[in-house]
Amino acid sequence: MSSDADQAITVYSDYVCPFCYLGRQSLSQYQETRDEELDIDWHPFDLRSQKRRPDGSIDFSVDDGKDEDYYEQAKQGVRRLQERYDVEMTLDLGTDVDSLPAQIVSYYLKGHADYETWLAFDESVFEALWQDGKDIGDEAVLVELAESVGIDGEEVASALDDETLRAEVRERFSEAQQHGVTGVPTFAYEGYAARGAVPPEQLERLVEGV
């Protein structure tokens, strides 16, 4: 992280969560009101951790208690926030997309690239899924996105094949839960937190106490 701790906001999120994308749009709108931009200290979170097999693949047959009514309510919530934040989205939900590969690559870049490169990749992943409807679980898509921000595609392939890195990312998921993160997006700043795609003014209160 290139900035001092007091100039970064911690964000727990999962790329496949539409509210995480909308929350980032809200954060961008808040950023526009600031003289100095806050860095984003991103922490990965896996909404499907309870449905993963030992090899990391998703077992979609696992009952997570989310029925058609749940998803319909989620869609309505997404549409309300789209209108509120003036955001166009191709998808309402990404239930068939596995975000773990994207999170692995993003986590790798967070530790090996400069902040601006990581941020550009991070934003491109969100846009690829929610604006373009691309499968961000596909290695070829991730290579394309990485190369678009100046990262060699071979680095992406290497990161995805790195079992040690994969295990580290899964440890980060567990640590997030141990820190009390039960849902995403969660924004945290100096011991305080806000959960959900909260409006810009709530992020302002979180960071500036006003």
Rounded mean pLDDT, 57-69: 85
**Residue of 185 and 54 predicted with greater confidence:** 185
Question: Cα 176 to chain center, whole Å?
Answer: 13
Domain residue limits at 20:
5-208
**pLDDT for 68:** 86
Confidence of residue 168 (pLDDT cuts 50, 70, 90): very high
- Tell me: pLDDT of 201 over 80: yes
Percent of the chain, pLDDT > 90?
Answer: 80
- Tell me: pLDDT of 6 over 80: no
Strand, coil or helix: 191: coil
**pLDDT for 128:** 98
Geometric angle at alpha carbon 49, from 5 and 60, rounded to 5°:
145
Would you state the structure tokens that stand for residue 110, as one six-digit string?
Answer: 């967070």
**pLDDT for 2:** 38
For 171, counting Cβ atoms within 10 Å of its Cβ (0-12 exposed, 13-18 middle, 19+ buried), the class is exposed
- Tell me the whole-structure pTM to 2 decimals: 0.92
On whether the CB atoms of residues 83 and 24 are closer than 8 A, the answer is no
- Tell me: pLDDT of 14 over 50: yes
What is the number of structural domains in the chain?
1
**pLDDT for 5:** 42
User: The domain that contains 61 carries what CATH number?
Assistant: 3.40.30.10
Would you state the structure tokens that stand for residue 190, as one six-digit string?
Answer: 């100096």
